[in-house]
Amino acid sequence: MTDRGRDIPAPPARWKRLVGEDGIQKWVFYIPVVFFILFFAAPMALTVVWSVFERTQFWMEPGFTLFAYENFFTSARAENYVLSMLHAAAAVVISFVIGFPIAVFIRRRVTRAAQHRVILLFILPFMISELVRVFAMRPVLGRNGVVNSVLMELGILSEPITVILYSPLGVIIGDVMSFLPFMIFAGFLALEAVQNYIFEVCDDLGTGRVRLFADIVLPLAAPGIFAGSVFIFVNSMGVALVPTLLGGPGAVNAGLIANQAIVALDFPLAMAISTIMIFTLVLLLYIGHRLFDLTKILEPIS
Amino acid sequence: MTEPAAKAVEVVELGKNYGPVTALKSVSFSIESGRYYALLGPSGGGKTTLLRLIGGFLRPSAGRIFLHGHDVSHLPPNRRPTSMVFQNYALFPHMTVERNVAYGLKLLRVPASDIRDRVDRMLAMVGLVGYNRRMPHELSGGQQQRVQLARSLVLERDILLLDEPLASLDAKLRKDMCLELKRIQEKVGITFIHVTHNQEEALTVADRIAIIADGELVEEGSARDVYETPNKRFTAEFIGDNNVLEGTVSDVSATGATLDIGFAKIEVPAPAASISTGERAAFSIRSELLRIAGRDEDIGASWQVVPARYVEDVYLGLTVSHLVQLPDGTEVVARVMSDSGDNGRFEPGDDVAVGWPANRARLHVA
């Protein structure tokens, strides 16, 4: 202790600087960056690169060709892709119409202590395999399914409706059933950040229900609604399971188109479709940014 | 203002329960029109509940509320002649200052040109000229509260309710805002009801103060009355810096009573409530009225003097607090202005005498 006190401490060895007490703390913060590059940026970049590779019989080889894109845009795939976007958009709109009022209800009408428990209930479906969940829609929506039998028993229908299964409508219903909770979670979280005082001020000013919704609730929840919408849109376009099980012959979404390309061992085509999906979503985010100014809605509330 | 004769606020046996919890026991009182009225009390005492009942944000469990003579007990907030300024975070975060203030008028379908004028006039009143286009998060806490004030005042309702409006501001700003609130109230002339737990704030802004604790109205009076001549022991302990000593009433006369506090008999002026011999009672005396002197010094005629032992002094800036111990062990505080020559005369352990003007002590029963 005594003679060490007089010495100027030697600079720590390089490895010590990296993994020493400070070093470890410093590097911990880079783990997300590494993770992001390894599992997100790199695969995306490879997807784009591979989409212009030459197709071989079982894999692909380096090269540059836009054949996969040409193949995509000149076949029925492009049309199916656009349809898939429309179906996804429909699922988003329906999820908003059903899910957002649920979020508002939970925030406004359920007592504070119970709110999170009620929200947790909407996580329960995710504990069942998605395959099972989507498959279970068949006996519900089918010709002799629950919906049709009940409506026919009640005398509301004389013939079963067949348009709700093995059809585009079936796919949209399946998407809504699968991804609705995302709208509830995101909407609720956005509303949770709104102070109770805001609602009391509205009571004081005499804001009617319609104005309260249009002027206050909707704009304040916009970031959450947008986040939930992106989630639902992406999943509706990308999860191949839903059209496979509920769509019937010929029904596809973007994910299923890519799947089919992989099954056909046309990897550049699958990569091209994925690349187009990436750019579609980036474009949507950009449009959303221009419309809502995402930086602004992500600013702290109050 | 429709009926100037009627009280602005009249509350009759008003009570509020949350299930088994009683937030407000049967409270009755009234506020005259044009007053700056403070509801003062400790946290959880029911003062905010009372304000929210007046504003219509809570439904009363019992009793009635009359505003300007009309029974409003079951009307929603927007149909009462009241407007509320909340503690904090109550501005619409997605609207500019101007739109925040204008929003209430827009709901009332006031013509756009009128809205502009009235909003600008209100912003000028609260000292925020030129802040029209700012967003709430660009404002300081004090400025946000000014915007809230403008948003409420612009509606031109007759009673303004303020729920701890300055609680989140720092001490200096709070002091400035107090004076500002008082100035604005004098200018607009409407009734202000201000809830606070801060006695200095209440004394600064209010003409009249009601002390609310444990769901009850403890005492009500002018700011000067509750500070200088508190009737209830709770008031004496809550407001100002009072010494409270307990004893037994040993004698009652026409002008006062004698309290036996063990080592001395203290003469106290007669209280408002009637008392009888043998009753337990307490008296309070404000610390700034106490004087400390040597044992054989003459403090003054008609002063009540008791022996004590000097403990220590505590420097507080404006004043110095001198602690002395009475023969029965209780400590009392005498406050003296820091620049007075009375400081530094005694050492800890010195035998001293402590005295106060006999007619300034306040007797409190139970």
Kindly list the domain boundaries of chain A, sorted by start residue.
Answer: 81-297
pLDDT of residue A10: 66
* pLDDT tens track for A233-243: 999 999 999 99
Query: Where is B176: in which H helix or E strand?
Result: helix B171-188
* Coil/strand/helix, residue A217: helix
**What order do you get walking across the sheet with B70-71 strand by strand?**
B21-31, B9-18, B62-67, B70-71
* DSSP tag of A126: G
Q: Dig out the tokens for B165 from the structure.
A: 């409006």
pLDDT greater than 80 at residue B52: yes
Q: What are the phi and psi torsion angles at B166 (to 5°)? A: -110, 10
Spatial contact of B277 and B249, defined as CB atoms under 8 Å apart:
yes
- Buried b / exposed e over B296-323, threshold 16 CB at 10 Å, is eeebeeebbbbebbbbebeeeeebbbbb
Separation of alpha carbons B181 and B183, rounded Å:
5
* Coil/strand/helix, residue B168: coil
Cα separation values, B22 from A225, B13, B331, Å:
40, 14, 35
The mean pLDDT value for A130-158 works out to: 91
Kindly report which listed range (A204-208, B219-223, B336-340) carries the lowest average pLDDT score.
B336-340
Separation of alpha carbons A252 and A266, rounded Å:
17
pLDDT of residue A299: 52
Give chain A's mean pLDDT. 88
Percent of chain B predicted with pLDDT > 70:
98
Separation of alpha carbons B203 and B272, rounded Å:
23
Contact B137 A300 (CB under 8 A): yes
**CA angle (A277, A91, A144) in 5-degree steps:** 120
> Confidence class of residue B165 from pLDDT cuts 50, 70 and 90?
very high
pLDDT of residue B366: 62
Size of interface A-B (CB pairs under 8 A): 64
* pLDDT tens track for B340-353: 877 888 989 999 99
Tell me the chain A residues in contact with residue B144 when contact means C-beta distances shorter than 8 Å: 302
For domain A81-297, give its CATH number from 3.40.50.2300, 1.10.3660.10, 1.20.58.190, 1.10.3720.10: 1.10.3720.10
**CA angle (A104, B161, B51) in 5-degree steps:** 75
* pLDDT tens track for A72-94: 999 999 999 999 999 999 999 99
Spatial contact of B219 and B345, defined as CB atoms under 8 Å apart:
no
pLDDT greater than 50 at residue A302: no
Query: Where is B364: in which H helix or E strand?
Result: strand B362-365
- Which of B204, B357, B353 has its CA nearest to residue B264? B353
Where along chain B do its domains lie?
9-233, 241-365
pLDDT greater than 90 at residue A103: yes
Q: Would you say the ipTM is above 0.90?
A: no
pLDDT of residue B108: 94
pLDDT of residue A46: 93
Q: Which residue of B has its CA nearest to A210?
A: B107
Of residues B77, B89, B155, nearest to A302 (C-beta): B89
Q: Dig out the tokens for B199 from the structure.
A: 């006695």
pLDDT greater than 60 at residue B75: yes
How far does A122 lie from chain B, in Å, by closest CA?
A: 29
Query: Where is B212: in which H helix or E strand?
Result: strand B208-213
Contact A205 B88 (CB under 8 A): no
Contact B56 A203 (CB under 8 A): yes
* pLDDT tens track for B132-159: 999 999 999 999 999 999 999 999 999 9
Separation of alpha carbons B133 and B147, rounded Å:
12
pLDDT greater than 70 at residue B5: no
HSE at residue B94, side-chain half, CA atoms within 13 A, is: 19
> Confidence class of residue B287 from pLDDT cuts 50, 70 and 90?
very high
Give chain B's mean pLDDT. 91
Percent of chain B predicted with pLDDT > 90:
75
Spatial contact of A201 and B101, defined as CB atoms under 8 Å apart:
no
> Confidence class of residue A290 from pLDDT cuts 50, 70 and 90?
confident
State the residue for tokens 């004893």.
Answer: B247
Separation of alpha carbons B258 and B268, rounded Å:
6
**CA angle (A90, A234, A283) in 5-degree steps:** 95
pLDDT of residue B3: 45
pLDDT greater than 80 at residue B234: yes
Beta-strand relationship, B191-196 and B159-163: parallel
Contact A301 B88 (CB under 8 A): no
- Any B CB within 8 A of A301 CB: yes
Separation of alpha carbons B197 and A104, rounded Å:
34
Q: Angle, to 10 degrees, between the axis of helix A168-192 and the axis of helix A218-238? A: 140
From chain A residues 219-238, the ones with a CB under 8 A of any chain B CB are 219-220
- Any B CB within 8 A of A201 CB: yes
The mean pLDDT value for B325-330 works out to: 92
> Confidence class of residue B272 from pLDDT cuts 50, 70 and 90?
low
> Confidence class of residue A11 from pLDDT cuts 50, 70 and 90?
low
pLDDT of residue A68: 92
Q: Does domain B241-365 have CATH number 3.20.20.100?
A: no
Q: Which parts of chain A fold into alpha helices (H)? A: 2-6, 14-19, 21-28, 31-36, 42-50, 67-74, 76-109, 112-121, 130-135, 137-141, 146-153, 168-192, 196-205, 209-211, 218-238, 241-246, 254-263, 267-292, 294-297
* Coil/strand/helix, residue A121: helix
Kindly report which listed range (A246-255, B47-56, B74-83) carries the lowest average pLDDT score.
A246-255
Separation of alpha carbons B123 and B107, rounded Å:
19
**CA angle (A120, A122, A128) in 5-degree steps:** 105
Contact B77 A203 (CB under 8 A): yes
CATH topology of domain B9-233: Rossmann fold (3.40.50)
pLDDT of residue B274: 72
pLDDT of residue B300: 78
Cα separation values, A244 from A82, A90, A136, B230, Å:
18, 18, 13, 81
For B65, counting Cβ atoms within 10 Å of its Cβ (0-12 exposed, 13-18 middle, 19+ buried), the class is buried
Dihedral sign for Cα A207, A210, A216, A221, please. Answer: positive
Percent of chain A predicted with pLDDT > 90:
64
* DSSP tag of A38: I
Tell me the chain B residues in contact with residue A299 when contact means C-beta distances shorter than 8 Å: 137
Tell me the chain A residues in contact with residue B152 when contact means C-beta distances shorter than 8 Å: 204
State the residue for tokens 């030459």.
Answer: A54
- Which of B230, B190, B191, B237 has its CA nearest to residue B210? B230
How far does A119 lie from chain B, in Å, by closest CA?
A: 25
The mean pLDDT value for A277-292 works out to: 86
pLDDT of residue A301: 47
Kindly report which listed range (A1-10, A140-149, B14-23, B59-68) carries the lowest average pLDDT score.
A1-10
